[in-house]
Every structure is written in structure tokens, then in C-alpha cells.
């Protein structure tokens, strides 16, 4: 479904991605691990069009999308949920979710997707008319994930969904991601520091270090300790 | 007492005209963070076009307004596409867009001067006559102006709240990366924002042109008033601009009544500085 090949990315003169290659197959959950500041978020941003790559190729459902503007990539059914959330703070939860269905192809499925979002995050249904600037960190994270789901996507890329959340909220977010995969059959690429939780739901994992893929494993064939060791 | 009430009413009238005039400035800033230093001339162009269609060609008022608004929309969109859009890609776009719009404003001011000449013009009143209730005396025309502004602002806020494009504009105003992530084409929304703001600004120019006089240079005075209003109300906040315009309109009328018209600017700017010192985000702050 997604094939990244020899991707190179720079911030100014600083090379962040050094020929990264990875692939995600339809229906898979793939986790991307690695220490902070080694290019995981940049890779997701390059795939979704927020950070144009300098070289390499990104194929999504058979079409080359490297260098396309972000809005065209969303229209092809690839959703990115940023770590920073980037919610519309002075709008309500519901307005944020509706804006998630901005792409043309998503508008017919608004009702179905909204029901699903409220099904996995009942909390958002209660707070639907609340301004996003008044939400807790965990609730805001739920809105960000929900907004991504509203775009009628086939691949969901989630960047550190549990960061900064209380243990209870972390569980709620991981449960929701598991539900998204199991009930909707959604393909998921997740970047996460909570190795244990992410590993449990992943079919495959990649470990990224210094802007390169260090290794790739099947989810069942690797232990948390081995991943942690690779960080140093 | 009579004078005071009449001053309140006249403050309300100029306040609502100022609100209409300041909205275009705050809409462009709110969405694109471009501060339009050519704002006043845009209002003047809208007014002159309508004046020309009305007086020289004899087009009826409603049609003349519609034609000018259509021109302003295209003008705003094309100006954005050809000039602002490439400038926004430069590293110091904030400063370059300010200087560019200032230069464009001076250029356009002189185009208006060359085409229409320096003589003062005015757009005829929409309706004649006066409403007299007890000691109250109000022109029907000015009452109509208030009604038009109220309708226009209501229509605008409904557009921002419920239309897909209006929601996208607010989304871009609140978070550009957030808007990109949900699939909004930022440059397209910027272009439409310029078109919309030029229409609103041109329309306010028409209204101002029916109450005050028109000359090619009057835009700068309008714009400085617009600057005070949008800073007072909170840059990028539409409701803030409306509230600030009404307050400043009332202050202007009351200051004129008790102190004389020469005190209006000093008082406006003292208020402006006080707000900047105490509440730099403006009285309402917040985003569109």
C-alpha cells in the first residue's frame, strides 16, 4: 500500500533522512521506533506532504506522491495525525471533526465516520460543543485522532499519540487505535515511545536511528528489551 | 440631553461604517497574517468604481454595486496570485508584503487620481428625507446604512460559521499545519480570502462615499482609522473589530460634541496606546 524508497530529507543544510526505505501493506499495523530526534516524525511529515523530500520515492496505492502538496495526499486517502495535534483551538469539537471531512471524497461518509469517532471516544460525544482550547491534553489528542478518521482514510499515520498523557488516558488512546484497526480494518503506521503497547498491536516494526532504518522485524519475533537496547 | 442622544446616534452610524471598513483588514490579517497597508485605497477604488457606474454611465445603484463587487473580487484574487503569493514564499515575507502593499497603495492612489481627477466626488444618498421623533432627527439614509451594515456583518458571520469555504478560512486562521493536515489547499483559501476582503472593503468604501466625500487620497485617513480599530479590537478578530469600531465611533461623536472635532484623533490614539499597553492582544483577542 505504501512503499518508501531511498527517501532523503533536509532541514536547511541538515540532512535528517538518509535514504530511508520502508513499506506498509494493506491491513497491517506497523510501528516505527527509535530515539527522539532521529527522523521518525520527519519521515511521517515527508510522506504526508508537510516536509517535501529532496530525493527518493513514495508510492501510495501505486501512485507516486513524493513532493505533492499535503492537500492532494489527504485526498488520496492518507491521513496524518501530528504529535503537536494542531487543532483549531477557537472551534468546537464538532467543528474540528467536520473539518476533518474537508476532502471531497470524505463528505459522503461524514455521518458514518462521526458515529465511529463517537463510538471509540464517547468522551468526545459529551464534549461535542466545547471549544477545543478548553479540552484536556487527552481529550485534545482524541479530537486529533478523530479528525484524522473523518477524512475517510485508508492509511492512518499516527505520531506519538500517547505522549504527555496520564496512564489512564494512554490506555484509552491505545484501545481506540486497536479498535480502529480491528473494527475498520484500517492500515496503521504508528510512531510511539511506549514500546510495550505499540509492540503488542504491531505486525511489523522498524527501528530508526540517525536518519536511517537500523532494522526491521516481525512484531512477534522481537522483545521490548531488544528494541530498548537498540536505542543506545 | 438632546445633543447627547443625537451624538450617540451619529456615533453609532459612523461606528458601523468604520466596522464595515475595518473588517477587510482584519479578515486578511486573520487568515494570512499579511497586514494590508494598501487597505484604504482598496476601499477608495470600490467607491470610485461605483460612483463612475452611477454618475457617468447611469447604471442603477444595486447593479453598480454588484458590478464593482465582482470587480473587487477578481482584483483581490489576481493581486494575491500575482504578487502576494510569490512574496509569501520568501523568508522575510512579513516585511516584504507590508512594503509591497504600501507601494501598491501609493501606485493605485495615483492611478485613481489620473483616471478620475483630484476633484471631490460623492455617491448620492440612497434615500432622501429625515425621520423626526420628538427631538430626534435622523436621516433615513443613515438609518439604512446601519441596517445594511448589520445585514452585511450577519451575512459574513453566517458565511464564516456555516459555509465550507468560510470554515476553511477560519481553520487556516487558527492553524495552518492543522488546515494542511485535513486537506485544505492553503494558497487557494488565501486567494479567496483576498477576494472576499476586497469585496468587503470595496463595499465599505461605497457606504463611506455616501456619507462622507471621496477623493483619491481619502483612503489613507480611512486606513489609519482601520488600524486603530483592528488593534483595539484584536488583530485578526472580526467580532473584536466590530465592537472596537462601535466604541470608537461613539467616542468620536461624544468627543466632538463636548470638546470639538480636533480632539478626536488625540483621544483615539490615547485609547489605542492604553489598549496596546494593557491588553496588546486587543479587547477581545481570539481568532476569527
Q: Which of B174, B177, B183 sits opposite A82 (nearest CB)?
A: B177
pLDDT, chain B, mean:
95
Residues B206 and B47: their CA atoms lie apart, in Å, by 4
Rounded percentage of chain A residues whose pLDDT exceeds 70: 100
Testing the interface with B: which of A44, A48, A77, A86 to mutate, by most B Cβ within 10 A? A86
Q: For residue A140, which of A113, A172, A106, A114 has the smallest C-alpha distance?
A: A172
**Contact by Cβ (8 Å): A142, A173:** yes
| Interchain proximity B180–A87, CB inside 8 Å | no
Domains of chain B, residue spans: 17-217
* CB-based burial label for B213 (10 Å; 0-12, 13-18, 19+): exposed
Q: How far is residue B259 CA from its own chain's centroid?
A: 27
Query: pLDDT value at position B286?
Result: 66
Q: For residue B28, which of B191, B183, B150 has the smallest C-alpha distance?
A: B191
How many angstroms away from the CA of B163 is the closest CA of chain A? 11
| Interchain proximity B181–A102, CB inside 8 Å | no
User: What part of A 63-92 touches B (C-beta under 8 Å)?
Assistant: 69-71, 74-75, 79-82, 84-91
Q: For residue B203, which of B158, B151, B254, B162 has the smallest C-alpha distance?
A: B151
Contact residues, chain B, for A48 at CB < 8 Å: 181
Query: pLDDT value at position A177?
Result: 97
Q: Within an 8 Å CB–CB cutoff, is residue B167 touching chain A?
A: yes
The total number of structural domains in chain A stands at: 1
Domain span at A28: 2-230
Instruction: List residues bridging with A204 in a β-sheet.
Output: A30, A218
Query: pLDDT value at position B284?
Result: 81
- Out of A93-102, B92-101, B121-130, pick the least confident: B121-130
pLDDT at A65 over 80: yes
Q: Within an 8 Å CB–CB cutoff, is residue B31 touching chain A?
A: no
Section A217-231 average pLDDT: 92
Q: What share of chain B is helix, strand, coil (3-state, %, to 5)?
A: 75, 5, 20
Q: Within an 8 Å CB–CB cutoff, is residue A151 touching chain B?
A: yes
| Ramachandran angles phi, psi of B240, nearest 5° | -60, -40
The CATH number assigned to the domain holding A17 equals: 3.40.50.300
**Which is more confidently placed, B203 or B133?**
B203
Cα dihedral: B238, B240, B243, B246 (round 10): -70
How many angstroms away from the CA of A86 is the closest CA of chain B? 5
pLDDT at B220 over 80: yes
pTM (predicted TM-score) = 0.94
Which residue of B lies nearest to A99 if distances are taken between CA atoms? B182
User: Which tens digit of pLDDT belongs to each residue from A37-46?
Assistant: 999 999 999 9
Residues B263 and B270: their CA atoms lie apart, in Å, by 11
Q: Within an 8 Å CB–CB cutoff, is residue B91 touching chain A?
A: no
User: Which tens digit of pLDDT belongs to each residue from B124-156?
Assistant: 998 999 998 888 888 999 999 999 999 999 999
**Contact by Cβ (8 Å): A58, A47:** yes
Amino acid at each position: 500500500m505504501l512503499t518508501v524508497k531511498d527517501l532523503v530529507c533536509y532541514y536547511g543544510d541538515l540532512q535528517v533522512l538518509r535514504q530511508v526505505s520502508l513499506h506498509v501493506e494493506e491491513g497491517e499495523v506497523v510501528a516505527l521506533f527509535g530515539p527522539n530526534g532521529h527522523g521518525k516524525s520527519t519521515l511521517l511529515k515527508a510522506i504526508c506532504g508537510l516536509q517535501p523530500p529532496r530525493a527518493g520515492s513514495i508510492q501510495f496505492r501505486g501512485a507516486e506522491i513524493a513532493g505533492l502538496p499535503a492537500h492532494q495526499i489527504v485526498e488520496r486517502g492518507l491521513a496524518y495525525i501530528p504529535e503537536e495535534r494542531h487543532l483549531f483551538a477557537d472551534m468546537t469539537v464538532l467543528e474540528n471533526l467536520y473539518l476533518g471531512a474537508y476532502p471531497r471524497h470524505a463528505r459522503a461518509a461524514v455521518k458514518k465516520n462521526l458515529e465511529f469517532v463517537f463510538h471509540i471516544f464517547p468522551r468526545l460525544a459529551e464534549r461535542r460543543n466545547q471549544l477545543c482550547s478548553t479540552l484536556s491534553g487527552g481529550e485534545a489528542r482524541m479530537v486529533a485522532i478523530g479528525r484524522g478518521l473523518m477524512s475517510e482514510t485508508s492509511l492512518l499515520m499516527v505520531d506519538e499519540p500517547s505522549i504527555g498523557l496520564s496512564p489512564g488516558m494512554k490506555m484509552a488512546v491505545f484501545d481506540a487505535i486497536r479498535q480502529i484497526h480491528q473494527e475498520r480494518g484500517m492500515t496503521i503506521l504508528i510512531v510511539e515511545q511506549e514500546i510495550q503497547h505499540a509492540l503488542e498491536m504491531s505486525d511489523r516494526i522498524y527501528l530508526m536511528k540517525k536518519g536511517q532504518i537500523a532494522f526491521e522485524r516481525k512484531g512477534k519475533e522481537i522483545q521490548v528489551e531488544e528494541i530498548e537496547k537498540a536505542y543506545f | 440631553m438632546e445633543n447627547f442622544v443625537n451624538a450617540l446616534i451619529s456615533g453609532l452610524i459612523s461606528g458601523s461604517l468604520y466596522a464595515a471598513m475595518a473588517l477587510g483588514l482584519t479578515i486578511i490579517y486573520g487568515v494570512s497574517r499579511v497586514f494590508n497597508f494598501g487597505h484604504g485605497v482598496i476601499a477608495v477604488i470600490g467607491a470610485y468604481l461605483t460612483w463612475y457606474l452611477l454618475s457617468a454611465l447611469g447604471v442603477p445603484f444595486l447593479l453598480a454595486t454588484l458590478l464593482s463587487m465582482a470587480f473587487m473580487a477578481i482584483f483581490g484574487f489576481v493581486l494575491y496570485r500575482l504578487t502576494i503569493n510569490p512574496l509569501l514564499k520568501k523568508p522575510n515575507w512579513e516585511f516584504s508584503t507590508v512594503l509591497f502593499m504600501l507601494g501598491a497603495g501609493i501606485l493605485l492612489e495615483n492611478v485613481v487620481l489620473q483616471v478620475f481627477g483630484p476633484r471631490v466626488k460623492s455617491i448620492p444618498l440612497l434615500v432622501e428625507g429625515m425621520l423626526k421623533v420628538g427631538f430626534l432627527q435622523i436621516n433615513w439614509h443613515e438609518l439604512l446604512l446601519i441596517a445594511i451594515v448589520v445585514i452585511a456583518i450577519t451575512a459574513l458571520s453566517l458565511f464564516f460559521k456555516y459555509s465550507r469555504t468560510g470554515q476553511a478560512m477560519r481553520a487556516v486562521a487558527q492553524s495552518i499545519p492543522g488546515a494542511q493536515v485535513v486537506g485544505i489547499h492553503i494558497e487557494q483559501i488565501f486567494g479567496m480570502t483576498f477576494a472576499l476582503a476586497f469585496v468587503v472593503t470595496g463595499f465599505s468604501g461605497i457606504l463611506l462615499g455616501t456619507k462622507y466625500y471621496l477623493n483619491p487620497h481619502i483612503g489613507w485617513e480611512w486606513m489609519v482609522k482601520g488600524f486603530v480599530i483592528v488593534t483595539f479590537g484584536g488583530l485578526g478578530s472580526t467580532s473584536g473589530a466590530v465592537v472596537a469600531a462601535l466604541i470608537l465611533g461613539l467616542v468620536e461623536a461624544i468627543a466632538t460634541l463636548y470638546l470639538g472635532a480636533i480632539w478626536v484623533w488625540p483621544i483615539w490614539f490615547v485609547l489605542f496606546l492604553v489598549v496596546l499597553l494593557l491588553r496588546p492582544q486587543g479587547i477581545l483577542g481570539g481568532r476569527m
